[in-house]
Each structure stands twice: as C-alpha cells, then as structure tokens.
A and B are shown apart, each in its own frame.
Chain A
Amino acid sequence: MLFSQVRGRPVVASAGAAQLGVVTSLTVDTASGRVGHVRVRGGRLRRETVLAWDALESLGPDVVLVRSTAAPEPVPPRHDILGSRVLTEAGNERGTVLDVVFEPRTGRILTVVTTLDEWPPDRLLGLGDHALVVRAG
C-alpha cells in the first residue's frame, strides 16, 4: 500500500463506530523502518491529533479502524515524508520523496520512492525538518 492512498481515508473508532476524522499523513520511524504514527484531522474544530501505529486495529480499503484514541507520548514532530528533500549522508541532494510503499498489516516500510531512486528501509538514517537522510551505496 502507498502512503498517498491512505491519505484522506476516514478513521473510525472500533467501539461506537464514531468517525474521528480523516488521515492526513503517516510518519516514518527511520530507526525501525516502520510506520510510526498516524496523523488524523477531524472533530468539530478540525484539530489534528496523533495516533500510535499500535493503536490501529486494521487498515481496511475503506476505513481505518482504531482501538484506542489516546495520544502517544512523546508526540512526534510533524515532518511529512511525502515531498521531503532527500540528502545522502555525504551531503548531496538526491531528489524528493514521491511516495512510500508499506505493508498495511504490519506497518513495515518496503520502499521509499523518490524522483531519482528507490530506497530500502535499512538505508534511511533520519527524517528531520530539512531532509530525509539516506545512506548512499
């Protein structure tokens, strides 16, 4: 599944089936190579809330079911990987991130697709406010 496909998908609490909002983005935990958190926008004030990946029950084709809506600690910084600049550890730019392929059941990242390359998750070093840093060759 792609990050861009999940964006805009409605998020529903499994108990009560109340809609919490829609997915705005997924965050990447570069250390483990998995999806870290899900950002959700919704409610009456259209506020953005963060859910841990573990709080998800399932990521279906139509809705995202969540088990608990407790905010994780600590709240991760908001860096959207889509559109992020790609820097090698040597300090050279290598395009921007187009999309991320991941496994919807486990949250494991399979590939990060950029304008120039495709990177496996073990090449990712960090995602910050400036760039996604990757280990090149």
Chain B
Amino acid sequence: MDELMAARSLTTRPVVTLAGDAVAQVKDTVFDTAASRITGFALSGRGLLSGPLQDGLPWTAVYSLGHDAVMIRDRRALASTAVLAREEPLRGRVLGARVLTETGTDIGRVLDVVVEGGTSGRVVGFRVAAAKQFATGPKRHRRRVYVPRGESLTVQGRALVLPADAVHRVTDDPTAFAALADGGAGRRKGPLP
C-alpha cells in the first residue's frame, strides 16, 4: 500500500532524521542505468541561500520515502556524491528519453518517472508526452499518458524499449495505471501525483 509519486515532485522534499532534524533537501533523483529503481538522491542545503551539498544520499541509507519527507536514520546516512556519480541523474538522461516498443511503435517521450514510495524505491512506470496515435480525448488533456514499466525494459542509447504488448497498457487514467503497475491485481494504492 505504498504511495506512488512522481520523481520530479521529490525535488525540495526535506531529508529528515528519525530524531526530527531536517539535514538537507532533495535536489535530484538518481536511477540505475536500466531505470528500474532509485539508487539515491543528490542533495542541496535547506533554505534560499544554500547551494548544492557535496553529500548524496544512497538509497540503502533511506529509511522510508514518504509523502512529506525522505526519512533517514541519522546524519551518518549521507555519503559522498562520488558513490552516485556513475548512475543516471533524473534530469540528465531519463527525462526526455524516447519510449519505444520492440516492434518500433513510438509511444512518446518521458515527462516524469513514477516511483513507489516506502522502502522499495521501485520505478513503476513513466508519465509520457504521447505520440499522436496514443492521444485521445479532449485536446488539452490528450498529450499525457502513463505507461507501466513492466519487467522487461531495455535501454538502447537514449531510448527505453518496452515489449510489443506495452501498447495495450498505455493509459491516460492514473487509477487504471496504478492497477496496471500492480500487475492488474488491483491492490489498494495511494493517490497518484
């Protein structure tokens, strides 16, 4: 019953220890190269005048990713950003990447990554600026669809390649997406971003 959240909404979320102190805030989310899970966060200081921090937060040190804060045990959870540097920061590669199927259908471009909160850090899908053939409904809503990540995604260059049947799982309804992301079982999910 972990809540789904958009990775872009994690920016500026405070990083809070279990002792209740806010030590930093999220600047960017880092994913692994297959875009399957969060591997960590780049951090910035709290407040207007504080710049980026040298420290990052590896996912292994996250106690829980919540709706209002990223919880960590204590300050020692923060590690040098060098640990995270090899992976893909959100802004760098995943956003704007093209989503294709194996048979060559263009689904669109990634607007945002939908992740599961709590302790899993799993990427459950993508919010996509849809290509023309997936754009249905009234004009002002039609460009935005959700695609579950599924199990078999491959990364080729700047494109995320899904199995051919992924076209049937494209939806513009967040509730339907939450059910799809869950394997269709319909386990109760929190509200979508």
B-binding residues in A (CB < 8 A):
79, 87-93, 125-133
Contact = CB atoms under 8 A, between A and B. Distances in A.
10 contacts: A91-B66, A91-B67, A91-B68, A92-B67, A92-B69, A93-B69, A125-B19, A130-B22, A133-B16, A133-B20
B12 to A, nearest CB: 14
A128 B19 contact: yes
Contact of B20 (A91, A92, A127): A127
A52 B115 CA distance: 46
Contacts of A125: 18-20
B22 A91 contact: no
Interface residues of B, number: 19
Contacts, number: 68
A130 to B, nearest CB: 4
B66 A128 contact: no
Contact of B19 (A88, A91, A126): A126
Interface string B53-69: 00000000001111111
B174 interface: no
Contacts of A87: 16, 20, 66, 68-69, 71
Contacts of A89: 18, 63-64, 71
Contacts of B17: 126, 128
- Shortest 10 CB-CB distances between A and B: which pairs? A91-B66, A128-B20, A128-B21, A126-B19, A130-B22, A93-B68, A91-B69, A126-B20, A91-B71, A90-B64
B150 interface: no
Nearest to B65: A91
B40 interface: no
Contact of B71 (A79, A90, A129, A132): A90
B57 to A, nearest CB: 13
B146 to A, nearest CB: 23
